[in-house]
Amino acid sequence: PLVLGIETSCDETGVGIVRGHTLLADALASSVDQHARFGGVVPEVASRAHLEALVPTMQRALDEAGVTLADIDAIAVTSGPGLAGALLVGVAAAKGYALAAEKPIYGVNHLAAHVAVDTLEHGPLPEPAVAMLVSGGHSSLLLVDDITAGVTPLGATIDDAAGEAFDKVARLLGLGFPGGPIIDRAAREGDPASIVFPRGLTAAKDLAAHRFDFSFSGLKTAVARWVESRERAGEPVPVNDVSASFQEAVCDVLTAKAIDACLSTGVKTLVIGGGVAANSRLRALAGERAAKHGIVVRVPRPALCTDNGAMVAALGSHLVKAGVAPSRLDLPADSAMGLTTVSVPG
């Protein structure tokens, strides 16, 4: 099927077009520069930017794919979770296009789309698979038996998301927003073993109740304290070493728990999605550790890890092929959509 996907859950306006597992177009407009001076995404600013960017981004995607709206078999749109006002822009637009062109519409879960996007690069996802979703708002380990039916949470962060930790640490180091890519770059010039930062929820006493859960707020505080003590002593802060050591702590815990989840469930495929999956150290360490256990790691190229329209189209295409019924035209923008809902029922 030829499926168009619309993404507006945060600060990226994305329209992607796929045929089966083949990516034909992935048009993106970001309002990230408008949020940078606030150190985080401002919901009203994001909504307005979506409103301005949506129609041109739609046109760019259709041009890039060399198709017209009439050629499209179904329209998928992020229904949630995300910023309510931002979601509403995408959902309203998708409804308008679906109504005008008389196409079925699928309201889909943004987080499931972060997992499904990998199919565009590596083909159908072997099921069951363990999925690690690491993004700006979420950090979870999931068991995927059948992605059309929902996913089973194995664990999740009990405080900050991994991406949030990257953004906060970058902020306290004065590096800018979003912090993930900046820390990734700085870390390449630093020594990951220079400072030992805490690994949250990995002590024996924590593992009993939180084997597959994460905690990153203690790590963030430890980095803040370390930096403050340096500044108090009047010594320069070795930004590259702090970045590398912080990143190592995050990636160590994420990969150790992801592999543990695979081993404990007997699952041989680990798929990683979400913005933090773009991290170069996470990708390398996951591959290294998984190989030791005969586990195959699937992680899409960095540009598909952060928010985009292709991921929504990829999930939509999978739903169409699986014969899942489309959503109703009155589907909601659901800012708190849970992972048990992969698409809004018809």
Site string for ligand ATP, 249-278 (x = CB under 6 A): -------------------------xxx-x
Nearest CA among 165, 346, 143, 176 for reference residue 247: 165
In angstroms, give the least distance from the CB of 220 to Fe ion. 20
Identify which of residues 7 and 12 has a Cβ nearer to Mg ion in the complex. 12
Binding to ligand ATP (CB under 6 A): which residues in 103-132?
110, 114
Residue indicated by tokens 């589907």: 331
- Identify what 179 binds: Fe ion, Mg ion, ligand ATP, none; CB under 5 to 8 Å per kind: ligand ATP
The H or E element containing residue 65 is: helix 43-65
What's at 345, amino acid-wise? P
Stretch near Fe ion under the rule CB under 5 A, chosen from 130-138, 170-178, 191-199, 245-253: 130-138
Annotated binding-site positions for Fe cation? 110, 114, 307
Identify which of residues 119 and 140 has a Cβ nearer to ligand ATP in the complex. 140
Applying CB under 5 A, which of residues 11, 118, 184, 334 lies at the interface with Mg ion?
11
Using only the alpha carbons of the chain, give its radius of gyration. 20
Annotated binding-site positions for substrate? 133-137, 167, 180, 184, 279
Q: Does 307 bind Fe ion (CB under 5 A)?
A: yes
Number of residues that bind Fe ion (CB under 5 A): 2
Q: Does 326 bind ligand ATP (CB under 6 A)?
A: no
Beta carbons within 8 Å of 182's beta carbon, 6+ residues apart: 170, 175, 176
From CA 275, how far away is CA 181, in angstroms rounded?
9
In angstroms, give the least distance from the CB of 13 to ligand ATP. 12
Helix 43-65 and helix 84-101: axis angle, to 10°? 30
Stretch near ligand ATP under the rule CB under 6 A, chosen from 43-51, 64-72, 174-182, 313-321: 174-182
What are the tokens at 232?
């108090």
Site string for Fe ion, 134-153 (x = CB under 5 A): -x------------------
Site string for Mg ion, 295-314 (x = CB under 5 A): ------------x-------
The H or E element containing residue 281 is: helix 280-292
Q: What is the dihedral of CA 200, 129, 337, 139, to 10 degrees?
A: 20
In angstroms, give the least distance from the CB of 87 to Fe ion. 12
**What is the DSSP code (8-state) at residue 327?**
P
From CA 236, how far away is CA 36, in angstroms rounded?
25
Q: Does 200 bind ligand ATP (CB under 6 A)?
A: no
Give exposure, 304-337, as e/b (b: 16+ Cβ within 10 Å).
bbbbbbbbbbbbbbbbbeeebebbeeebebbbeb
The binding site for ligand ATP (CB under 6 A) comprises: 9-10, 82, 110, 114, 135-138, 163, 166-167, 178-181, 184, 274-276, 278-279, 306-307
The binding site for Mg ion (CB under 5 A) comprises: 11-12, 307
